[in-house]
Chains A and B, each alone.
Chain A
């Protein structure tokens, strides 16, 4: 007996956002990355094929991070001392794009130098995150945005109490911004309204709904993302932005990933567990609509890329 599978038809669609600019577009990237464009819930290919599958970014730092897991230090090795080397290695590891995270010790000069080094070491599109302190973020990101004019990089992080300077420099230098709100549909939407009120078009905004690692609030973030995506498909303009999630940052904070000693034997091999913690968090979030996953470990990248490939019908 033939079975008719019921199909949802949605009035709205997700905005497409492109990161990076090739030489023809005024930049120096060898490729660009486009996300968004979905007209159905994630991986519901029988309803409508998604034009752009989720992509993976690898997070690198402008200066060697002292607080990262020894497992990450072990795999990236000396590349962690030089953003250019780290970027090249990340590209080899299969990243679709790169995230460069600046630190509180950076000066505008060192931030610009790191950005330029990464841009020349890799042809991948780039997103630059400030260290997460209002004044420092603004100081560093303005310098970076001006230095990277034409490359269409992503600038983060815009929050409701600090978005004007970042958006203004993105407007002036042709970049994209990432807008982070703390796990709430309304707050995400409000921030997107504030940013578009300044004149930045929707195709230059990514939203970061904030997530938690597996076992650390992920299910709440999952639900918020799912509701954002449902609202987007129902036609709510201010929720129709592609979503970026910082999975590596969250997963490597979890005790299960971070700690190798003094944990129950049943937890098994530390490295395997840590990589799985990152991968499974990422896996769940692409099911809730994530478009850009920011990961830290190359093996997680390989696993999740394979999983995405399998989810996309040939």
Chain B
């Protein structure tokens, strides 16, 4: 091993030894000449450094740490002064000028450092969850005295007596189907049974002797700690999400999502209501969503090795229209002036009544909504985000098909909804898809060659693009000059990736040979228009809401983003397209699907359910269609990033410093 030669002053040595240090791997040294890029030196050492933006020094993902010696940094974008102090440098923007030892941090660590990316928080069991204090559904062991000629008490009275003595439950009630299976269970278990009861009435009321419903009776004494299954369900207009939860431990054991089967009968709530109002439309809509849920439940059961009959509780969030269509309640009045629902706070039901293919006696809580266009998805979302308990004034955006927005804190809450369409959930797009295996979730486009680099969920061949991918694709196309501010694709650029397609101009993100289907993956002009309308509706919604209460958005201390469009969002990209307001990135928090999270909390804790009811009563609904303000704000936002550029200073700066060599936009 040769001596270590730091960069000499004045004269530079021509050859330098660079040692790369990897986690859990032996060091690798290479000899390179002066001015070799760190990324190139790494390549020579056989180490591939991840460069999503293609080495343009824009994404900050190729950060490495120089632990000995030094490199010359041509650009330090994305690096904080303290990062540089610690030796961080971008591999694609730094050159070797002397011997150096360079540590390549694991990718996750770099991603955590980036201020632009927001990943949805992990789902954890709410702090202090105690099944025995908070859960309404309980599994109890009961030991009965076997009947004899001396004791000819009937089975039901015998059970009631045992339950009263052993569990202090005074008023046990049961449906006919449970009574029908009771006798056999008692005998098969040799007078030892496990029962499942619903204690909701007892927990929610201070008065004694409240009825307790017997949901199920099983022979023998089941393991107390074995899972007791419940479901948290969010019925989105576009995406239905179901979480399979063990009510005993409180843990989410599996998650699944799928497009709502009703999409085939209309993309937005209004067209669904119209369809449901005709002939057998109402029954068809109900069956379509039930089929979506039941299929999801089936796959969750397979994954958790359980049976649908073992699921004894569900909490359902969803907008008011979805709730009506699920319950088969006529929804026409939601669409017609004066826009009222049949019911905002549905009572508890059984799975049998609703038609869910789980234990027919399972308790179903449909969470309460506020109004026709502010449903249980948003009240659940407020609970999940903790907005109703926040001290600072907070903006909560649900980037979904109905673009619900809430502004306020623990003292006041105002809300509105605007029809954004399903674009950000990947629906209704040429190659859109949900954020699952094979979805492109991040795109970087080279400013000179217009070649894209994609990150695909699961690192497989891409199948399509999900919501977060669409946000980053739109932003990159705009910043690179592929799109003008109005969203027109510039067909005159020197790249084969822009072309006149079947549906007008389009951009090819992946060629057939790279994609899973063998077909080119494209974004069309029509897709871009849909995305622009969706982002404009959401932006207009929260700006008008803020104006109505006389609040300046720049003063919002925290912006919470919910949405089932992916598990991550790049806030810088979302600002560049004008979806999110141009405020410092630190103020954004991405929560993922807040509706299902709220349903999950309500599933576990009866007090959380009560809190959602309180939230529903507290929220003030602001009707956006009442005057022209929304339309004004919408057309104004129908531009990249916005017609009023002064609202987006950071974007103005980003597009005015395009790299050199960029052809003029003409």
**Taking beta carbons and an 8 Å cutoff, which residues of A are in contact with B?**
160-161, 164, 167-168, 171, 184, 186-187, 189-191, 193-194, 197-199, 238
User: How many whole Å from A73's CB to the nearest CB in chain B?
Assistant: 40
Q: Are A161 and B643 in contact (CB under 8 A)?
A: no
User: How many whole Å from B592's CB to the nearest CB in chain A?
Assistant: 33
Q: Is B206 an interface residue (CB 8 A)?
A: no
Partner among A160, A167, A187, A189 whose Cβ is within 8 Å of the Cβ of B488:
A160
Partner among B488, B490, B638, B643 whose Cβ is within 8 Å of the Cβ of A193:
B643
Q: Is B636 an interface residue (CB 8 A)?
A: yes
Contacts A168-B666, A193-B643 known; A187 to B492 CB distance under 8 Å? no
What CA separation (Å) do A2 and B556 show in the bound complex? 51
Q: Are A190 and B643 in contact (CB under 8 A)?
A: yes
User: How many whole Å from B408's CB to the nearest CB in chain A?
Assistant: 29
User: How many whole Å from B638's CB to the nearest CB in chain A?
Assistant: 7
Q: Are B636 and A186 in contact (CB under 8 A)?
A: yes
Q: Are A194 and B485 in contact (CB under 8 A)?
A: yes
Q: Tell me how many residue pairs across A and B have CB atoms closer than 8 Å.
A: 41
Q: List 7 contacting pairs A-B, 8 Å CB cutoff, sorted by A.
A: A168-B666, A187-B635, A189-B643, A190-B638, A190-B643, A193-B639, A198-B666
Interface bits B362-387 vs A (CB < 8 Å: 1, else 0)? 00000000000000000000000000
- Could you say which residues of chain A place their CB within 8 Å of the CB of B636? 186
Identify the 9 closest CB pairs spanning chains A and B, nearest first: A186-B635, A186-B636, A198-B666, A160-B486, A190-B639, A168-B666, A186-B643, A189-B643, A190-B643
Q: Are B486 and A194 in contact (CB under 8 A)?
A: yes
What CA separation (Å) do A164 and B490 show in the bound complex? 9
- Could you say which residues of chain A place their CB within 8 Å of the CB of B664? 198-199
Interface bits B126-143 vs A (CB < 8 Å: 1, else 0)? 000000000000000000
What CA separation (Å) do A198 and B486 show in the bound complex? 13
What CA separation (Å) do A150 and B492 show in the bound complex? 26
User: How many whole Å from B583's CB to the nearest CB in chain A?
Assistant: 23
Q: Are A197 and B485 in contact (CB under 8 A)?
A: yes
What CA separation (Å) do A78 and B639 show in the bound complex? 48
What CA separation (Å) do A184 and B484 show in the bound complex? 19
Identity of the chain A residue whose Cβ is nearest the Cβ of B486 in the assembled complex: A160
User: How many whole Å from B628's CB to the nearest CB in chain A?
Assistant: 11
Identity of the chain A residue whose Cβ is nearest the Cβ of B488 in the assembled complex: A161
Partner among A190, A199, A238 whose Cβ is within 8 Å of the Cβ of B486:
A190
Q: Is B307 an interface residue (CB 8 A)?
A: no
- Interface of A: prevailing SS: helix
Q: Is B632 an interface residue (CB 8 A)?
A: yes
Q: Are B635 and A184 in contact (CB under 8 A)?
A: yes
Partner among A161, A187, A190 whose Cβ is within 8 Å of the Cβ of B485:
A190
Partner among A171, A186, A197, A238 whose Cβ is within 8 Å of the Cβ of B484:
A197
Q: Are B665 and A198 in contact (CB under 8 A)?
A: yes
- Could you say which residues of chain A place their CB within 8 Å of the CB of B665? 197-198
What CA separation (Å) do A91 and B388 show in the bound complex? 72
- Could you say which residues of chain B place their CB within 8 Å of the CB of A194? 484-486
- Could you say which residues of chain B place their CB within 8 Å of the CB of A184? 635
Identity of the chain A residue whose Cβ is nearest the Cβ of B634 in the assembled complex: A186
Q: Are A193 and B485 in contact (CB under 8 A)?
A: yes
User: How many whole Å from B636's CB to the nearest CB in chain A?
Assistant: 5
- A-facing residues in B635-666 (Cβ within 8 Å): 635-636, 638-639, 643, 645, 664-666
What CA separation (Å) do A189 and B642 show in the bound complex? 11
Q: Are A164 and B643 in contact (CB under 8 A)?
A: no
- Could you say which residues of chain B place their CB within 8 Å of the CB of A238? 643
Q: A189-B643, A190-B639, A194-B485 are in contact. List 19 more A-B contacts (CB 8 A).
A: A161-B488, A164-B492, A164-B666, A167-B666, A168-B666, A186-B632, A186-B636, A186-B639, A186-B643, A187-B635, A190-B638, A193-B485, A193-B643, A194-B484, A197-B484, A197-B485, A197-B665, A198-B664, A199-B666
- Could you say which residues of chain B place their CB within 8 Å of the CB of A187? 635
- Could you say which residues of chain A place their CB within 8 Å of the CB of B485? 190, 193-194, 197
- Identify the interface centre among B485, B492, B645: most chain A CB within 10 Å of its CB: B485
Identity of the chain A residue whose Cβ is nearest the Cβ of B664 in the assembled complex: A199
What CA separation (Å) do A184 and B633 show in the bound complex? 12
What CA separation (Å) do A244 and B288 show in the bound complex? 54
- Could you say which residues of chain A place their CB within 8 Å of the CB of B632? 186
Identity of the chain B residue whose Cβ is nearest the Cβ of A189 in the assembled complex: B643
What CA separation (Å) do A171 and B665 show in the bound complex? 13
User: How many whole Å from B559's CB to the nearest CB in chain A?
Assistant: 24
What CA separation (Å) do A193 and B636 show in the bound complex? 12
- Could you say which residues of chain A place their CB within 8 Å of the CB of B666? 164, 167-168, 171, 198-199
What CA separation (Å) do A238 and B485 show in the bound complex? 14
Identity of the chain A residue whose Cβ is nearest the Cβ of B639 in the assembled complex: A190
What CA separation (Å) do A238 and B643 show in the bound complex? 9
Identity of the chain B residue whose Cβ is nearest the Cβ of A184 in the assembled complex: B635
- Identify the interface centre among A168, A186, A189: most chain B CB within 10 Å of its CB: A186
User: How many whole Å from A95's CB to the nearest CB in chain B?
Assistant: 33
What CA separation (Å) do A187 and B1 show in the bound complex? 69
